[in-house]
Every structure is written in C-alpha cells, then in structure tokens.
Amino acid sequence: MLPLASQRDVDSASRFGDLVIVLFIAMQVFDGALTYVGIQLFGRGIEANPLLVWLMQQVGDGAGLAMAKSVALVFGAFLHVTSVHRVIAVLVGIYFTAAIVPWLHILLGPGW
C-alpha cells in the first residue's frame, strides 16, 4: 500500500498549481496585448502564427485575438482542474521565451 501524501505535500502542490495557472493567465493576457499593439503598429505580417493571422483576417484583429486567447485559457483551465501543473509550467516558459520576449524586443528595441 502506498503512503498517503502529507497535508504539507498537498498544500505545496496546490500552491504550485495556483501559481502556474496565474502565470499562464498572465502570459496569455500579456501576449494578447503585445500582439495587438504589434499588429496595430506593423500590420498582421508581423505575427508569426499563420493560424492566428488567418483568424484575424476572418473576424478582425481584436476578435481573432480574443478568440485565440479564450481557447488557450480554456485549455489551460482544463489542465489546471486535471492537475497537470507541470505542463502548464512548461507552457508558461514557452510563452515567455517564444512570445513575450520577442514582442518586447520588437516593441521596445534590443536594449529593453
């Protein structure tokens, strides 16, 4: 029989899960805002995701971004409620390095 997790282990896992979902939500909000600013300044051609560009062409920039970010948030919430917090943490890292940092570099210049 496997030992039961201590209350401290459960609390620690819960705090980690809560932290990563908050960070995931923040990444989605920041990425959406930076993407919107970027496409308003430079046009849709600056966006690297062809599916997002297509969606924005179909429904408009703001609506397309809102739809894409809403889908991402729903999937993130699903991962959270199913306690797949390490995957969310990896996604936070990917969003930060592959979306937030490049947008900041483009919008603020190389010296930010």
Torsion of CA 63, 68, 70, 76, to 10 degrees: -170
Backbone angles phi, psi at 66, to 5 degrees: -60, -40
- The predicted model gives 44-54 an average pLDDT of 96
Percentage of the chain modeled with pLDDT above 90: 84
Answer yes or no: are the C-beta atoms of 36 and 107 closer than 8 Å: no
- The predicted model gives 78-107 an average pLDDT of 97
Asked whether residue 1 carries a pLDDT value surpassing 80, the answer given is no
Cα four-point dihedral sign 94, 98, 99, 104: positive
Q: What is the pTM of this model?
A: 0.86
Rg, Å, the chain Cα set: 17
Percentage of the chain modeled with pLDDT above 70: 90
Look at residue 2 in the predicted model and tell me its pLDDT: 53
Q: Rounded to whole angstroms, how far apart are CA atoms 41 and 105?
A: 14
Asked whether residue 22 carries a pLDDT value surpassing 60, the answer given is yes
Which DSSP state fits 5? Answer: P
